[in-house]
Chain A
Amino acid sequence: MTSTRRLNVSRWLARVGLALSVVLLFAATASAASTLETVRARGKLLCGSTDPLPGFAQQNADGRWSGFDVDFCRAVSAAVFGDPDKVDFVPLTGSSRFALLQTGAVDLFARDAAWTMRRDSGYGASYVGASFFDGQGFMVDQKLNVVSAYELNKLRVCVLDGGDEVLNVQDFFFQNQAAYTEVLYEDRDDLTVAYQAGLCDAVSANASWLYAMKRTLPNPATRVILPERISKDSFGPVVRDGDDQWFNIVKWTLFTLIDAEEVGITEANIGSLAAAKTPVIRRMLGLSGTFGAGMGLSPDFMKNIIAGVGNYGEIFDRNFGGNTGVPMLRGQNALWTRGGLLFAPPVK
C-alpha cells in the first residue's frame, strides 16, 4: 500500500517537474527578451538578497532594508529609474536562489555565495564582477592579546562543518606547526551561541560573516578580527544569462560606484559640480558624451547613481564605517590606487 502510494506521488512529482521544466524554459526564453523592459514596465526592481547579514543586508522594525548589498540594489534602481527607492527586496535561501533568478522572480542578486567557476558557469547565471573581496579569517577575544593569526596556538577553534572552511583551518595550523582543537558546528546560529558561551577561543569563517557576527555580539569592541586571510573569496552581483544589456547595466552600476570614488565625485559634492571642467567629471555627470544609450539608459545614469547612493567609499563607510560602532578596514576593498583590488575601466 505504502509503496503504491509512493509510486503515485513520485509519478505526480515527475509530472510536476516536467511541467515546471516547460514553464521555466518559456520563462527563461521570454525573460531573455529584455530585463530592462520588464523592470521598467513593472515600475520597480526586484533584488534578491541572501538571509539577513548585519552590515550587508538587514531589515528594521518598519520592514525597511538597509546595508551594503541593499545599497547596491538601490544603485541599480537609480541607474534605471533615476530613483534609488524603486526596488523591492526578496529574501532568498539556499537552493532556490538560481531558480528565482531563472524564472524572473528576481532581476539580480546583489550578493550570492562566493564567486566560483561552478556558480558562474553551471546555473545559467553570471557574476558581473566583484563588489566585495573576502576570505576566511579568524576572530578572537581581545583579552587573548593576539594581533596575528600566526600567533594562534593551543586553543579551541569553532568552525562551520561541511565545507572548505575546516580544511583551510587544518592546512593553516599544519603549515604553521601550531596546535588547536577543532569545534565543529553545522549551523551558524549554534556556532555563534557556542562562541559567545566561551566554548571556543576563536572562530574561523569568511571575514564578512565574522564581521556580521561581531556586530550581533554584546561588546563587539572586545572582539578582534585578525588581518590574515587563509582563503580567497569574492562576492558580487549575479544576473541570469541571456541578456547582455542587463549584464552591462548591473556591471556599469558597479563600475560607476568605483570610478566615482576614484574621480572624487560624492553624494555630498555632486550638486556643486555642474560647472566642473575636468573632462572625466563632465562625462560621468552626463554633461558631455552620450554614454548609456547602448544600454538603454539615459545619459545622466551615472549622476543618478551617485546622487542616489553615493560612491563606493561612501556606501562602505555608511554600512561598515565608524558610525556603525563596529568599523571594518577597507583592506582589499580599497581602490587599486590605494593598495586595494577595486578597479573599474574608465568612463570614456
Chain B
Amino acid sequence: MWGRMPIRLLAFSIIIVATLCGIARAETLASVKARGTVQCGVADSTPGFSAVQVNGNWTGLGADYCRALAATIFNDPGKARFVPLQPDERVAALTSGKVDTFADLVPWTLHADTDEGVKFVATMFYDGQTFMVTKASALKSARDLAGKTVCVEANTEAEAEASEYFDANNIRAKLVSITGREALAASYIDGSCAAITAATSILAGMREALPVPTDNILLPDVITKRPLAVVVAQGDDRWFDVARWTFYALLDAEELGVTQTNVDEMLGSDNISVRRFLGVEGDFGASIGLNKDWAYQLIKGVGNYADVFDRDVGDESPLKLPRGLNALWNKGGIQYSPPVR
C-alpha cells in the first residue's frame, strides 16, 4: 500500500508543476480573456478563405476559424476582431502579440515552420496548384498545355513550381509571368493566356469573378501540395493547445455527427463520445483553460468542419469546391483529428 503512495504524490507533483508551467506561459489566453476579443491579423484577401465584404464583415475559412476561437473562449463568435496587416508586418504582429492568430491561412512549409518564430497548428485546407482553362478550349489535362501560353503571377511560388513541373514532365508550354493578380485575370479574359496557374484556393475565387464563371474549369492535375494552416506565435503552449483543439473539435464534431443544427438535441445523446465532446460527461475544457462546454459553444457558434467548409468554399458557396483531400479520413480524405477524451 505504501509503495503506491509516492507514485501518486509524484503524479500529483507533476500535475502541479504542469499547471504552474501552464499558468506561467498562459499569456495569450489570459490577455485575450482580459481584452474580451480574439484579434486575428489578415493581410491576404482571397474569396472563400479570407475576404472582406462591402459591409466590412470578414468571411472565409480562416475568418471562421477566428470566430471559432471566439466561440470556444467567449461563447460568442462575434468576439472575433479582424486586424488588417501589410504582408511584411504580419509575422512581427503575431510574435509581438499584436494579433493572436491570422484570419488568412498560411502555406505550411519547412521554411515557414522553422525560420520565423511562428508555430503551425494544423492544416485547415489541403490545397495544391492547378490550372484554369476555358471549357471552349477543350483542354482536358496539363499534358494538353504543350504549345500553349500559360500565365502565372510574377514573383510567386506558383511561378517556380509551374516551371519545374513543365521541365520535369517535358511539357513544352510557354510560361508567361504577369505582375499582379488583376492583370493576370485581365490577360486570361482577353484570351492572351490559354491557361492560368495558381493554387486551387486562388483560382476558385478568380473563376468566380469572371463574367461567366461556369464557362471555365480547373484541370484535374494538381501539381503541388500546399497545406494551408492555422498559425500562432511560438512560446505559448497553452495558446497552442487552445488553437489546436479548437480546430480538432471542428473535425471531431463532423465525425460524431454533431452539427450547428442538431447540437442542442445531441446534448441528450447516449453516445459516450458525444457526451464527452459536448461536456455532458467529464471536463475536457479545464486542461486548456476553458469551460467544460467549450466544444458545445464552438459548434453552436460556427458549426462543425463540414458546416464551415460548405458555407465558405463548398456547395453552399459560390466557389463550389469539392471536399477532395479535405474530406474526413473515413470518407476518402485525409482530415484526421485525435479524439476529445
A residues with CB within 8 A of B: 9, 13-14, 16-17, 20-21, 24-25, 28-29, 32, 95-96, 98-99, 102, 114-118, 120-124, 126-127, 130, 133, 164, 167, 232, 234, 241-242, 244, 247-248, 251-252, 255, 278-279, 289, 291-295, 332, 336, 341, 343, 345-348
In the complex, the answer to whether B13 meets A347 with C-beta atoms within 8 Å is no
Closest Cβ of chain A: how far from B273's Cβ, in Å?
A: 9
In the complex, the answer to whether A121 meets B288 with C-beta atoms within 8 Å is yes
Q: Given the interface contacts A25-B20, A120-B244, does A16 sit within 8 Å of B224 by beta carbon?
A: no
B336 at interface by CB-CB < 8 Å: yes
Residue of A232, A289, A291 most packed against chain B (CB within 10 A)? A232
In the complex, the answer to whether B237 meets A241 with C-beta atoms within 8 Å is yes
B315 at interface by CB-CB < 8 Å: no
Residue in B9, B109, B287, B338 whose beta carbon sits within 8 Å of that of A234 in the complex: B338
Closest Cβ of chain A: how far from B237's Cβ, in Å?
A: 4
B residues with CB within 8 A of A: 2, 5-7, 9-18, 20-22, 25, 108-111, 113-116, 119-120, 123, 126, 157, 164, 168, 224-227, 229, 234-235, 237, 240-241, 244-245, 248, 255, 272, 284, 287-288, 325, 329-330, 334, 336, 338-341
In the complex, the answer to whether B110 meets A348 with C-beta atoms within 8 Å is yes
In the complex, the answer to whether A345 meets B341 with C-beta atoms within 8 Å is no
In the complex, the answer to whether A117 meets B339 with C-beta atoms within 8 Å is yes
Closest Cβ of chain B: how far from A100's Cβ, in Å?
A: 10
B113 CB contacts on chain A under 8 angstroms = 248, 251-252, 345
In the complex, the answer to whether A120 meets B110 with C-beta atoms within 8 Å is no
In the complex, the answer to whether B109 meets A99 with C-beta atoms within 8 Å is no
Report the separation of the CA atoms of residues A96 and B4 in the bound assembly, to the nearest whole angstrom: 12
Q: What number of A-B contacts does a CB cutoff of 8 Å give?
A: 154
Interface of A is mostly: helix
With both beta carbons as reference points, the residue of chain A lying nearest to B118 in the complex is identified as A244
Interface of B is mostly: helix
Residue in B16, B18, B235 whose beta carbon sits within 8 Å of that of A122 in the complex: B18
Residue in A17, A117, A244, A251 whose beta carbon sits within 8 Å of that of B234 in the complex: A244
Report the separation of the CA atoms of residues A122 and B19 in the bound assembly, to the nearest whole angstrom: 8
A347 CB contacts on chain B under 8 angstroms = 109-110
In the complex, the answer to whether A102 meets B14 with C-beta atoms within 8 Å is yes
In the complex, the answer to whether A117 meets B21 with C-beta atoms within 8 Å is no
B157 CB contacts on chain A under 8 angstroms = 348
A99 CB contacts on chain B under 8 angstroms = 10-11, 14
Closest Cβ of chain A: how far from B302's Cβ, in Å?
A: 19
Name the 10 nearest CB pairs between A and B, nearest first.
A124-B18, A294-B115, A122-B287, A17-B9, A294-B114, A241-B237, A345-B108, A115-B338, A244-B234, A21-B13
In the complex, the answer to whether A252 meets B18 with C-beta atoms within 8 Å is no
